[in-house]
Homo-oligomer: A and B are copies of this chain.
Amino acid sequence: MPKNSNISNPVIRRLPRYYRFLGELAKQGISKISSRELSEKMKLTASQIRQDLNCFGGFGQQGYGYNVAELRCEIGKILGVDKGRKAILIGAGNLGTALAMHINFEKSGCKLVGIFDSNKSIENNPLGDLTITDISKLEEFCKKHNPEIAVLCIPKSATKDIVDRLIALNIRCFWNFSHYDINIDYGNIIVENVHLGDSLLTLSYGVNNLLSEE
């Protein structure tokens, strides 16, 4: 990796959004864009865009701007969209099912290779291109296929145990939709928590403030 380390979190969290907007521009047939134009579309400052991109290298050309396709490609590389890392989904309830169907894992550098659930009554049911496997076969499967990422759509109460099992199986990256915060003291762990309940509460706060300050 080039000068990747020490990139601040706010910058990293903006990268997917840049990537998304650049994809949209490319689809519209726009081949070049300046930081100013992009800043207007994305509602942020041109300065920030230039600053962000320069964490990773000079992708633009002075006096001209950025080549949309090229910049998108570079950000894609930074995000690792071409890596195709193996991911497994734990929990095939409503949310797990929705993710399996709705998320384009390939576009995000992942490949869903297994789906597990503890509910025996749905074992072997098809879900997307895969079939649901009983959670008891987790160890066997992982030792064979060595997935790197686990998507957790399980109840809070089950999460800690599952995380322990997954870490023992050398999985250290988690996309966590469970109601449980994985900020435990395992070293070298990458967690992306998605707490939908927290998100809705944040909206609720906003609703209250908008509707009462008038």
Contacts and interface: CB of A to CB of B under 8 A. Distances in A.
Contact of A173 (B101, B109, B210): B210
Given A98-B98, A103-B200, A205 B15 contact: yes
B102 A94 contact: yes
Q: What bracket does the count of chain A residues touching chain B fall in?
A: 35 or more
Interface string A175-214: 1000101010000101010111111111111111111110
Contacts of A212: 1
A97 interface: yes
A207 B105 CA distance: 14
Interface stretch (A29-37, A46-54, A63-71, A80-88): A80-88
Number of copies of chain A assembled together = 2
Interface stretch (A16-24, A117-125, A133-141): A16-24
Given A198-B16, A200-B110, A190 B207 contact: yes
A3 to B, nearest CB: 12
Nearest to A209: B4
Nearest to A80: B208
A126 interface: no
Contacts of A85: 204, 207
18 contacts: A1-B208, A5-B213, A13-B202, A15-B205, A20-B179, A80-B207, A80-B208, A81-B204, A83-B207, A83-B208, A98-B98, A109-B201, A109-B208, A110-B200, A149-B207, A173-B206, A175-B199, A192-B202
Given A78-B205, A102-B196, 5 more contacts: A1-B208, A15-B202, A79-B205, A99-B196, A192-B202
